Structure 1
Amino acid sequence: MNRRRFLGIGAAVVGTGAMGAFAVPSAARLLAEGRPGRVLGSAVELPAPFQVPLPLPPVLQPVRSDGTTDHYEITQQIARLEILPGLRTEAWTYGGSYPGPTLAVRAGRQIVVRHRNELPVPSVVHLHGGHTPADSDGYPIDLLLPVGAGAGGAQGTAGTAGMVGMAGMVGMAGMAGMPGMAHHADLPAGRTTDGERTYTYPGRQRAATLWYHDHRMGFTGPALWRGLAGFHLVHDDEEDALPLPRGEREIPLMLADRSFAEDGSFAYPAVDPTLAVPGVTDDYMNGVLGDVVLVNGAPWPRLTVDRARYRLRLLNSSNARLYRLELDPQPAGGDALVQIGGDGGLLEAPVAHDSLEIAPAERFDLVVDFSRFPPGTSVRLMNRFGSDRTTEVMLFDVSSRTVTDDSAVPERLCTLERLDPAAAVTTRTFGFRRSRDDGWTINNQPYEPGRSLARTALGSTEIWRFFTDVHHPVHLHLDPFQVLSRSGAEPGRYDAGWKDTVDLRPAESVELLVRFTDYPGAYMLHCHNLEHEDMAMMADFVVE
């Protein structure tokens, strides 16, 4: 089935099995290109770099708290934001801002977040890195319909352009009744809700930099591109006991690349601008790259810093772009970026880097000591994987004022539990690759909700092996993991600690060790190149 035939079917009869029909570039071409994606050029004149101050996302306060639980409310809504100076961009937002408001929470306290959907499309909220019960994990057809859309079936909303799309049809009509779709016994049913939905996060995890974002099947890429992402920061006593930088010297940095149309709106190469049919045009099948680098929603911002240590919580929320980050100039002696944590929280001991590679969805917790630079130095954060304007990320202006800094980076940060490979009850293999029928697949199968590629026992430990044809950042839901090896050798320099997303380079394999704890149900593994994910590079696994 070719692309023209696929698009001719129409949203009402599209099953996820057909997602494999999307044409993608040849494996040979992708291997030759190395890093994924193609740049979508903006139609508007881009601003000069380092003209706007770095914004910090607002911290959301609970609407009420009791002895065990903090309750929050977030409205998903359209907002017109000044992202490029002098222009207004229509964004899909959590709470009217991009990034959405930060949830700063305590480990051990239950968090309940009530989302209200005032967008023109269904949504699904996933707490990325969250150790979460299945019914609050953000399964991709657990739809929250727009307020007033009605959850009685696809017929009530199909007339609104872009409102339902393929994932909406799937969630409301029921997969088994759609043409081309097999019935799967594992398929969750009845989790579509109208207007408002409550997500519950028990808080049974250590301190870490998490983030929340939209996860609707077939439309995660355009949803994040338009703004649906925010930080969720977990704090605990173990981390608080360390003399790390804090307060105004603890900065979350959400990296994203975007492109803009002439009127300032987000440009995205969707095959269907109404988003009733998923997918991007042929040239962008391997990922969409923007030509504007945003940090916390601002283009190439700048921040004045004291000559002191700063803690930078880095998140790559880009659809497909990889970054190799480096400070320019480097401080005397190098080792400018001291990593203290990753996806799953603190490392056992700090790791110093001259440069840092970060794939989509990965997080790195760094300490940078700006006292190593002379007063008045302008320090650029560079992207050595970029080209043209995307080689620069942001600017730090080192102040000349005298300050006190009582922070430090201890030689030992924590004691990590190390999973034992000998305790693994089985080894499973998952291939992330383009199949012969031109689809992005896992184990040669395009995604179908309810068709699980693995069933694992609650409490068990397993070895999972991922291998790739081209570049794929792979994300595992429910539990973090520890990397055992890369292509039979030692783990990579950026693999330390607990991870939930691992970056696989072309023709590479990774072995990891994971223990499935606390919550049974259907969960996901998928590529976090969002264009790959939206075109079926996902799979279910079931914990029972």
Structure 2
Amino acid sequence: MNRRRFLGLGASVLGAGALAAVTVPAAARLLAEGRPGRLLSSDLALPEPFQVPLPVPAVLQPVRTDGTTDYYEITQQVAKLEILPGVRTEAWTYGGTFPGPTVVTRSGRAAVVKHRNELPVATVVHLHGGHTPADSDGYPIDLLLPVGSSGAGADQGMSGMPGMQHATGNTVTGERTHTYPGNQRAATLWYHDHRMGFTGPAIWRGLAGFHLVHDDEENALPLPKGERDLPLMLADRAFAADGSFHYPATDAALAVPGVTDDYMNGVLGDVILVNGAPWPRLDVDRARYRLRVLNASNARLYRLELDPQPSGGDALVQIGSDGGLLAAPVTHDALEIAPAERFDLVVDFSRYAPGTSVRLVNRFGSGRTAEVMRFDVSSRQVSDDSTVPDKLSAVEALDASAAVATRHFRFRRSRDDGWTINDDPYQPGRDLARPALGSIERWRFSTDLHHPVHVHLNPFQVLTRNGRDPGPYDAGWKDTVDLWPAEVAEVLVRFTDYRGTYLLHCHNLEHEDMAMMADFTVQ
């Protein structure tokens, strides 16, 4: 999209005043690359790609179970990890690893996860995509203070948020228990830090992990399973000369939120990590693999392709989205994935000759960031009884005529270089919507620049994009919709099961930390 077309769309789609908050030079600079963010370069030599085997996060075992519930414990702790070969990096971790351990649960069974904070900072845990009671959702000022903390400074950093007034959440010290009832279908979820003003640096330093939900419907399908069902967490990072994570925080001590001015539209790293490893490789059988792809980057948008493409194209068979299985598979030659989105893909490596090296590339990257990982196709003979059925799931289509309200949410940059929804920076306790439990509403999201929009509590279905049909990556139940500059999307949301206050926000983490969030309360 060129600058002239962007400004034209901005006036016609959003109204003549919609772009007033973004100066023309700033808009031109931000759109010159066509994507959000600014590259932060590492200060040490980077390894050659495809040297490190792909790690797979360990599955967390419950500490106990009963007839209805599985109980887990996770300690948030500092750990020295070898992320770049031969280099030690201090990370903030769940359980001592990055990514954290994978929590695997089953629909219909509750999961109770107790977090213990042994980090030097307060944290908040959010299960992204979780259908969760409000007191376990991870409201951004419900702080978990470090073990041994006196409780002083519970509002650390909040006064520095643009437009913020003093606010107090449900703060506890040492440990907090989150209850996830499991009242949702099979899906690829993830958990991450959500402390107000500091989500970006906390996830950048390692606070992220997978949470997979299974159910009977999914298990009955002949999809790839076991070692051929792989979670892939994509995350770009930059490294300082001493091997530490390099991040352009306004305050190195992370007591005051925000990044330096050059990076307010998002931080992009020059190292692409998959499951915490730089540009890894994986030996694969000539068989189908299920790849659960998560974009856990702060701001980077990827356009993923296989290189070479298999004969006949349709290399990536999408079987699921943020909220679980699609009704039927959708084929792609390339896939665009924004921060926080998940795509469940099946790739058939039997379409390649034995010995072929297949790169997963990022067409939105350049130089080293154009490479993601490599699959090396084995020459050995293997059996594979997996298939991708023409019908995957009975997905209910929400009825637009049943919507009882239409609400508008405008995602814009403010004149004072913050980020706003409906022209206001985030303030806890101020609702932008109060939907009724059990109701369906139509929510309309519009943007000035690029914003991946995330809604807590319930997934939604994309109804229209720019007044037309949904886009090629909008199928199924979503909890994050990717909007390019001057786009408009309408979604249908049904609010079920839980009353309380939840969040709507941009999942560009630098935008989120600089106040592009809003509360809504289900009544």
Shorter-chain TM-score tier: over 0.9
1:277 aligns with 2:256: yes
Q: How far apart are the structure 2 equivalents of 1:389 and 1:520?
A: 46
Aligned pair partner of 1:446 in 425, 450, 475: 425
1:221 aligns with 2:200: yes
Kindly state the Cα deviation for residue 191 of structure 1 after the two structures are TM-superposed.
1.1
Contact 2:78 2:96 in 1 (8 A): yes
- Alignment CA distance shift 1:490-1:180 (3 Å): closer
Q: How far apart are the structure 2 equivalents of 1:360 and 1:107?
A: 25
What SS does structure 1 have at the residue aligned with 2:59? coil
Q: How far apart are the structure 2 equivalents of 1:33 and 1:536?
A: 24
User: What is the one-letter code of the residue matched to 2:103?
Assistant: L
Contact 2:305 2:362 in 1 (8 A): yes
Say which is worse superposed, 217-226 or 430-439, in terms of deviation.
430-439
- Alignment CA distance shift 1:23-1:229 (3 Å): farther
Contact 1:34 1:471 in 2 (8 A): no
Partner of 1:381: 360
Partner of 2:45: 45
Q: How far apart are the structure 1 equivalents of 2:140 and 2:330?
A: 36
Identity of aligned residues (%): 78
Q: Map residues 182-197 of structure 1 onto 2, 5 A cutoff.
A: 191-197=170-176
User: What is the one-letter code of the residue matched to 1:461?
Assistant: I
Say which is worse superposed, 432-441 or 50-59, in terms of deviation.
432-441
User: What is the one-letter code of the residue matched to 2:440?
Assistant: T
Contact 1:24 1:439 in 2 (8 A): no
Q: How far apart are the structure 2 equivalents of 1:180 and 1:27?
A: 23
Partner of 2:245: 266
Partner of 1:63: 63
Q: How far apart are the structure 2 equivalents of 1:499 and 1:310?
A: 23
Kindly state the Cα deviation for residue 27 of structure 1 after the two structures are TM-superposed.
3.2
Partner of 2:407: 428
Partner of 2:450: 471
Partner of 1:137: 137
- Alignment CA distance shift 1:166-1:521 (3 Å): same
- Alignment CA distance shift 1:369-1:181 (3 Å): closer
Q: Map residues 118-197 of structure 1 onto 2, 5 A cutoff.
A: 118-151=118-151, 153-154=152-153, 165-167=156-158, 191-197=170-176
Q: Map residues 323-402 of structure 1 onto 2, 5 A cutoff.
A: 323-402=302-381
User: What is the one-letter code of the residue matched to 2:236?
Assistant: D
What SS does structure 1 have at the residue aligned with 2:135? helix
- Alignment CA distance shift 1:350-1:180 (3 Å): closer
1:301 aligns with 2:301: no
Q: How far apart are the structure 2 equivalents of 1:23 and 1:203?
A: 46
What SS does structure 2 have at the residue aligned with 1:347? strand
Contact 1:24 1:285 in 2 (8 A): no
Q: How far apart are the structure 2 equivalents of 1:509 and 1:22?
A: 18
User: What is the one-letter code of the residue matched to 1:403?
Assistant: V
What SS does structure 2 have at the residue aligned with 1:149? coil
Q: How far apart are the structure 2 equivalents of 1:420 and 1:436?
A: 38
What SS does structure 2 have at the residue aligned with 1:283? helix
Q: How far apart are the structure 1 equivalents of 2:22 and 2:140?
A: 19
Per-residue deviation, residues 231-264 of structure 1 (Å, max 9, x unmatched): 0000000000000000010000000000001111
What SS does structure 2 have at the residue aligned with 1:26? helix
Partner of 1:26: 26
- Alignment CA distance shift 1:273-1:334 (3 Å): same
What SS does structure 2 have at the residue aligned with 1:141? coil
Contact 1:25 1:286 in 2 (8 A): no
User: What is the one-letter code of the residue matched to 1:51?
Assistant: Q
Aligned length: 503
Contact 2:163 2:425 in 1 (8 A): no
Partner of 1:6: none
Aligned pair partner of 2:501 in 516, 522, 525: 522
User: What is the one-letter code of the residue matched to 1:271?
Assistant: T
Q: How far apart are the structure 2 equivalents of 1:232 and 1:130?
A: 9
User: What is the one-letter code of the residue matched to 1:65?
Assistant: T
Q: How far apart are the structure 1 equivalents of 2:30 and 2:447?
A: 12
User: What is the one-letter code of the residue matched to 2:307?
Assistant: D
Unaligned runs of 5+ in 1: 1-20, 158-163
1:457 aligns with 2:436: yes
- Alignment CA distance shift 1:262-1:194 (3 Å): same
Contact 1:24 1:438 in 2 (8 A): no
Contact 2:163 2:426 in 1 (8 A): no
What SS does structure 2 have at the residue aligned with 1:456? coil
User: What is the one-letter code of the residue matched to 1:502?
Assistant: V
User: What is the one-letter code of the residue matched to 2:222?
Assistant: P
After TM superposition, the score normalised by the length of structure 2 is: 0.94
Contact 1:327 1:379 in 2 (8 A): yes
The list of structure 1 runs, each at least 4 consecutive aligned residues, that deviate by more than 4 angstroms after superposition, is 21-25, 179-183
Kindly state the Cα deviation for residue 29 of structure 1 after the two structures are TM-superposed.
2.9
Q: How far apart are the structure 1 equivalents of 2:209 and 2:71?
A: 17
Q: How far apart are the structure 1 equivalents of 2:164 and 2:93?
A: 33
User: What is the one-letter code of the residue matched to 1:496?
Assistant: A
Contact 2:145 2:172 in 1 (8 A): yes
1:500 aligns with 2:495: no
- Alignment CA distance shift 1:229-1:273 (3 Å): same
Q: How far apart are the structure 1 equivalents of 2:61 and 2:24?
A: 44
The CA RMSD over aligned residues, in Å, is 1.8
User: What is the one-letter code of the residue matched to 1:92?
Assistant: W
Kindly state the Cα deviation for residue 182 of structure 1 after the two structures are TM-superposed.
5.3
